[in-house]
Structure 1
Amino acid sequence: MIKFYNPLGKVCMTNEYFAGLVGAAAQSCYGVCGMATGGKSDSFKTLFLGSDFPDKGVRVTEEDGKLVIELHIKVTYGLNIAAIVRSITHKVKYAVESATSLEVRRIDVCVDDIV
């Protein structure tokens, strides 16, 4: 859960909200085929929830009031991976900062599969 304070009071946002926002922004980028499972927790969720769930391949944490986002993606074969990653980082940062007014410290993009 991400918490921050504004002049009107305390605002709490769940990690699932951020994961859905980040996942939708990342999947809308050209060259991204889908999200990959990012670790043991995602693999465990896949067994019980099926192959598609909102926070698949997304991990959002907070460091010193700024967000750290980790993405695990699948990309299309034959495309420039560096350009895809650059596009994802720009789009995700813009989407998160405009929707929540929180600052993004960094975005780590892991390309786990080429389809």
Structure 2
Amino acid sequence: MIKTENPLGTVEISEEYFAKLIGDAASSCYGVAQMSTIGAMQGVKAMIKREFPDKGVRIKEEPEGLVIDLHIVVTYGVNIAAITKSIVHKVRYVVEDVTGFGVKKVNVYVDSLKT
């Protein structure tokens, strides 16, 4: 759970919701073929289920804001720098707009290319 406190009380949002929100925002950007798996645990999930909410997304909560790691597969022939910049801006905007949580950093890792 990711939580924050304000004068009215505590707001808690599940990591699965964040992962789905972030994954959808990143996948909708031009040039992103799909999200990639992170680590052994997501690899096992990928064998069992083809799609799952937190595929390619890792969220860390820090005092200054959220740190988001994204692992993606991009389409061959597109400008990777432009894609990653677009993803960073869109993910930051969507998370801050929908949830109100601040984003400290968005790290985008391009794991492979798809032809």
Shared fold, TM over 0.5: yes
Is 1:57 aligned to residue 34 of structure 2? no
User: In the aligned structure 1, how far is the partner of 2:27 from the partner of 2:37?
Assistant: 14
Residue 99 of structure 2 corresponds to which residue in structure 1? 100
TM-score (norm 2): 0.95
- The one-letter code of the counterpart of 1:5 is E
Instruction: Describe how 1:103-114 pairs up with structure 2 within 5 A.
Output: 103-114=102-113
Where 1:83 maps in the other structure, the secondary structure is: helix
Q: 1:113 to 1:70 in 2, by over 3 A?
A: same
Where 2:61 maps in the other structure, the secondary structure is: strand
User: In the aligned structure 2, how far is the partner of 1:53 from the partner of 1:23?
Assistant: 10
Alignment gaps of 5+ in structure 2: none
Instruction: Describe how 1:84-95 pairs up with structure 2 within 5 A.
Output: 84-95=83-94
User: In the aligned structure 2, how far is the partner of 1:107 from the partner of 1:64?
Assistant: 15
Residue 18 of structure 2 corresponds to which residue in structure 1? 18
Residue 32 of structure 1 corresponds to which residue in structure 2? 32
Could you list the runs of 4 or more consecutive aligned residues of structure 1 that deviate by over 6 angstroms after TM superposition?
Answer: none
Decide which moves more: 61-70 or 28-37.
Answer: 61-70
User: In the aligned structure 2, how far is the partner of 1:36 from the partner of 1:89?
Assistant: 16
Alignment gaps of 5+ in structure 1: none
Q: What's the Cα RMSD here? A: 0.9
User: In the aligned structure 1, how far is the partner of 2:45 from the partner of 2:7?
Assistant: 38
CA contact (8 A) 2:64 2:104 kept: no
CA contact (8 A) 2:60 2:67 kept: yes
TM-score (norm 1): 0.95
Q: Per-residue deviation at 1:100?
A: 1.0
Q: Per-residue deviation at 1:61?
A: 1.1
User: In the aligned structure 1, how far is the partner of 2:91 from the partner of 2:113?
Assistant: 21
User: In the aligned structure 1, how far is the partner of 2:47 from the partner of 2:22?
Assistant: 23
